[in-house]
């Protein structure tokens, strides 16, 4: 097999240039386009003959001119390759991608490399811009991040009600307890459960019971401020953490919630169900050793409320 040289070598290199599944264009010091391979022609809809010899910015006025001009000048001055990823700039050329519509992106995501081509005096005469289509990787990464977010959400969320679960609530309460102690800020906890919930399940079935839990959870969420946290504490028991709220303010919230639940009419399979709740309220006391003491105090108040006949707020 003979070695390639001369025109034969040029022909091979030209074939490679045109068949590579990456975009390749060559520009001179004045940004005139000297080469424009098949990838660029296909995705831009403009053949090399139409682009060649033109100023890159005249041919594609939608390019980020200030940014790209700065990038090209840095390659000329530093004489080193430069690189930009789609995370830094989603794309250089506004090409449509041909992937299925599985994401909200309209345009091809691109990694771009800027390669200096030097003359005999070691001066940069041309810059070769290599455009890599990384849309597939970008879509996959987005799907992966979304899946991780879902897993993370599942780890802290109660599946039935959509509220936080007990583990997450205790984590948040621990943090708020430390903040209240450090900054001497008020903090309150509401612990409540649905009165005679077993009777709901026994009378109407567990599906109706689930609907009741979801309705109560929704009413709780509707009352939350931005920094409040509500969780399903277990079974028919719920807990609210109210940062920057003293006992008086917490009792106002609790009473409003109690009335809201009592007035709610829950429709399940043609049946209208109404329930009441009993709420124990506790506020932060700097003599408390840890956040569990707040939960214990709220639980004691809840128990007292049940002893007094339920459907009430006790602090």
Condensed to tens digits (0 to 9), the pLDDT of residues 56-100 reads: 999 999 999 999 999 999 999 999 999 999 989 999 999 987 666
pTM of the model: 0.61
The rounded distance, in Å, linking the Cα atoms of 54 and 27 is: 10
Instruction: Please say if 236 is a catalytic residue.
Output: yes
Give the largest CA-CA distance in the chain: 101
- Res 233 pLDDT > 60: yes
Q: Which of 50, 136, 170, 236 is catalytic?
A: 236
pLDDT at 75: 95
State how far the alpha carbon of 216 is from the alpha carbons of 102, 153, 190, in Å: 36, 21, 14
Q: Give the pLDDT score at 1.
A: 44
């Amino acid at each position: 097999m003979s070695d390639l040289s001369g025109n034969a070598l040029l022909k091979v290199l030209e074939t490679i240039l045109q068949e590579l599944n990456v975009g390749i264009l060559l520009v001179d010091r004045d940004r005139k386009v000297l080469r424009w391979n098949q990838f660029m022609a296909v995705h831009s809809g403009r053949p090399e003959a139409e682009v060649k010899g033109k100023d890159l910015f005249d041919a594609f006025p939608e390019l980020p001119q200030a940014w790209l001009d700065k990038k090209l000048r840095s390659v000329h001055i530093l004489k080193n390759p430069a690189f930009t990823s789609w995370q830094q700039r989603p794309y250089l050329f506004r090409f449509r991608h041909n992937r299925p519509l599985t994401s909200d992106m309209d345009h091809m995501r691109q990694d771009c490399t800027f390669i200096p081509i030097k003359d005999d005096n070691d001066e940069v005469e041309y810059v070769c811009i290599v455009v890599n289509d990384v849309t597939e990787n970008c879509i996959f990464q987005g799907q992966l991040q979304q899946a991780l977010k879902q897993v993370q959400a599942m780890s802290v969320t109660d599946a039935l009600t959509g509220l936080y679960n007990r583990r997450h609530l205790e984590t948040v309460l621990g943090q708020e307890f430390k903040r209240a102690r450090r900054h001497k800020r008020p903090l309150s906890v509401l612990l409540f459960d649905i009165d005679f919930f077993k009777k709901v399940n026994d009378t109407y079935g567990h599906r109706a019971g689930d609907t009741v839990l979801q309705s109560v959870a929704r009413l709780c969420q509707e009352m939350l401020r931005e920094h409040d946290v509500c969780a399903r504490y277990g079974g028919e028991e719920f807990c609210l953490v109210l940062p920057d709220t003293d006992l008086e303010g917490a009792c106002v919230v609790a009473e409003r919630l109690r009335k809201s639940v009592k007035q709610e009419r829950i429709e399940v399979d043609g049946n209208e169900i109404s329930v009441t709740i009993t709420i124990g309220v506790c506020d932060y006391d700097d003599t408390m050793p840890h956040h569990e003491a707040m939960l214990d105090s709220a639980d004691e108040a809840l128990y007292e409320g049940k002893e007094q006949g339920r459907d009430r707020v006790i602090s």
